[in-house]
Amino acid sequence: MILPPLPDDAILLGVHVDDWRAAVREAGRALVRSGSTRSEYADRMIAVIEEFGAYVVIAPGLALAHARPGPDVRREGLAVVTLAEPVPFGHPHNDPVRVVVGLAVSNAEEHVAWVAKLANAFNDRGIVGRIARAETPEELRALLGFDDRAGA
Amino acid sequence: MKIVAVCGVGIGTSAILKVNAERALDRLGLSADVDASDLPGIAAAAADAQIILTSTELSSAVRHAVGRNHAEIIEVSNYFDVEEIGAKLETSLG
């Protein structure tokens, strides 16, 4: 199973934000811009962290922002936001965050196979730092193992 | 043996924890069913599980949710660190 596309519209590099909410909102903006979600999805990603805590910071420097499937998800999608200055999310081990991956799925079961592929890329130690320093969408897609034709 | 990976909403993070737990078990030469669950469903999902994998952040909520369930709760710091996950599973199982 292949990853959802990661077009240029879904990538924001070197963004300046004041706090974790703004960082998650940028991931929401990228998902909207690439046609994956409606704008309400950003609020739901923030609500997940408000309800359950910063567990979405799943590795040093990396947050995986996401919410449940819902009517604001038009189609499954990925977005990647890198931050110019790291921001704390409130995680005991993995703060501060430099890379936010936004994830939208339309079906809770069917995304496991491609998430496994995403996990392959991130199992490489040092990948988060390299993604944080990526200067172009092409470079970022290559780091994540995307075949760069059309970002798919 | 059954293991449940739990996160807040049961997608994304728990799926990553599930696939990396399966990789860790594979390296250890162990086999187990690894399911993913959301926090509201953990008590039912873990009823017949030996181990619950979750983040440090969620562990107290998980402990509260499962109540008297005897599954052991293992806290994972880095979801992509297969060595960390494997070492913690090995300690628990050995």
Q: Are A116 and A42 in contact (CB under 8 A)?
A: no
pLDDT digits (tens, 9 = 90+) for B31-89: 999 999 999 999 999 999 999 999 999 999 999 999 888 899 999 999 999 999 999 99
Q: Are B7 and A55 in contact (CB under 8 A)?
A: yes
Of B11, B61, B82, the CB nearest to A68: B11
pLDDT digits (tens, 9 = 90+) for A2-50: 778 899 999 999 999 999 999 999 999 999 999 999 999 999 999 999 9
Distance (Å) from the C-alpha of residue B90 to the closest C-alpha of chain A? 19
Domain ranges for chain A? 8-146
Name the helix (H) or strand (E) containing A32: helix A20-33
Of A51, A66, A91, the CB nearest to B12: A66
Q: Which CATH superfamily is domain A8-146 in?
A: Mannitol-specific EII; Chain A (3.40.930.10)
Cα dist from A135 to A33, A151, B91, whole Å: 20, 16, 42
pTM for this entry? 0.93
Spatial strand order of the sheet with B51-55 comes to B33-38, B2-7, B51-55, B72-76
Per residue, the 3-state secondary structure of B1-30, as one string, reads: CEEEEEECCCCCHHHHHHHHHHHHHHHHCC
Q: What percent of chain A is helix, strand and coil (3-state, nearest 5)?
A: 40, 20, 40
Task: Give A52's contacts in chain B (Cβ within 8 Å).
Answer: 7-9, 39, 57-58, 61
CB contact under 8 A, B20 and A108: no
Task: Give B10's contacts in chain A (Cβ within 8 Å).
Answer: 68, 108
Measured CA to CA, the distance from residue B57 to residue B45 in angstroms comes to: 19
Domain ranges for chain B? 2-93
Q: Residue A148 has what pLDDT?
A: 66
AA identity, residue A2: I
ipTM of the shown complex? 0.88
CATH class of B2-93: alpha beta
CB contact under 8 A, B56 and A92: yes
Largest CA distance in chain B: 32
